[in-house]
Structure 1
Amino acid sequence: MTEADFPHGPVTDPASVAAKKALRRDVLTARAALDADALALTAERLRDHVLALPQVVAGACVAAYVSGGSEPGTRPLLDALRERGVRVLLPVLLPDDDLDWAEYAGPEALTEGLRRTLQPATPALGVDAVADADVVLVPGVAVSATGHRMGRGGGSYDRALARVDGAFVAVLLHPGEVGRRVPVELHDQVVDAAITRDGVVVLAP
């Protein structure tokens, strides 16, 4: 599937949309119950699991994102990747919900973007820059055993992943969000693995 399959954003089926809303609501309710200590531990363990990936070596390129709220934390990971000499790309949300990309230059070089997302203040590289990544780490709220990821509903990452070819793609989740029954739509992109505080779960399409 390519970006041309949904040039104006995701194609949605009403039944799938309703099922996704229900699953999203359940997951976000569970996330809201997580305390600060649990979230901090998750961020530390995610950092360690990602750094242990064979694809993450000095000189590699990793596309990631700045986590927020009760999402599995990425802040420790982003700085650890830079310290290792990994080039880190972060998304810049565009008005049409597509994603541009820019290099991460440290926490002091982050600025607020659309919908209060944090993004790099460095120059934007274009929507196709994600194709440079050896590893792509994406947010989500659930993933099936076959790698079908469910996000927040905007379709941003489905569009971005349609531009990726050959990279290792993983969604960062909490343990109870892996192996869920995720409704699948035409535009949905699959991921290779889920990474939680407990480790890396390889998903089979």
Structure 2
Amino acid sequence: MTDEPGNLKRALRAELRERRRIRTSTERTQASEALTRHLVQLAADLDVGFLAAYLSTPDEPDTRDFLRWAAERGIRILLPVSREDGLLDWAPYDGEDEERDILGMPTPTSELLGPIAINGVDLILVPAACVARDGMRMGWGRGYFDKTLGSMEGCPPVYAVIFDDELVDSVPTERHDMPVDGVVTPSGITSFAVA
């Protein structure tokens, strides 16, 4: 049995990582400003009062300005903390100090909550390597968000935050991959009719 989807994903992830790495600071600044505007619009459109999101890394589309905006307006925010068993714990965003989790991802230093803390959020923002126009998301290969989304009852809208060129025609998929309801890019908000 071949691992064709897995091999295709690895190759595509390598290409996408390189594209993100070589973006100029001007491109990043322009993308950040536009993304923040669109994330604010999405939060307003969905009347979000409780949000699950993530702290972006330097190569990812920037979520930090949006998180500051949301916190200033009293929106409750949970951020993921990776666990060794492949699940996510959650911690409230407090805009204060950060540390790194077991994968080296930025996380808050606030109180650590368990995996079910995400229940009841109005919107989930997830990172992605790319997303297909049918809503299939390709992450970075560890499956943390796929497991979280696949285990939720009554999952709220889920939107991936990506750069414009990461919205693609199709992505290689495997059984465990979970679709998203839409994407937020510097160009705007795209919603999918996910089955």
Fold match, TM over 0.5? yes
**2:126 paired residue number:** 138
**1:64 paired residue number:** 53
Q: Secondary structure at the match of 1:162?
A: helix
1:99 maps onto 2:96 in alignment:
no
Q: Secondary structure at the match of 1:115?
A: coil
1:124 maps onto 2:115 in alignment:
no
**1:20 paired residue number:** 9
1:76 maps onto 2:65 in alignment:
yes
Give the conservation status (yes or no) of the 8 Å contact 1:169–1:192. yes
Q: Work out the number of aligned pairs and report it.
A: 191
**2:29 paired residue number:** 40
- 1:20-50 CA distances to partner (integer Å, 9 max, x unpaired)? 1111112112112201121122222211111
1:155 maps onto 2:143 in alignment:
yes
Q: Secondary structure at the match of 1:31?
A: helix
Shift, 1:56, TM fit: 4.0
| Residue identity in the other structure for 1:86 | I
**1:184 paired residue number:** 173
Normalising by structure 2, report the TM-score. 0.92
1:202 maps onto 2:161 in alignment:
no
Shift, 1:96, TM fit: 2.1
Q: Measure the CA separation in 1 of the matches of 2:73 and 2:5.
A: 41
Q: Measure the CA separation in 2 of the matches of 1:126 and 1:82.
A: 21
Q: What is the root-mean-square deviation of aligned Cα atoms in Å?
A: 1.6
| Residue identity in the other structure for 1:155 | G
Shift, 1:112, TM fit: 2.2
Q: Measure the CA separation in 2 of the matches of 1:56 and 1:28.
A: 33
What 5-or-longer segments of structure 1 have no aligned partner? 1-12
Q: Secondary structure at the match of 2:84?
A: coil
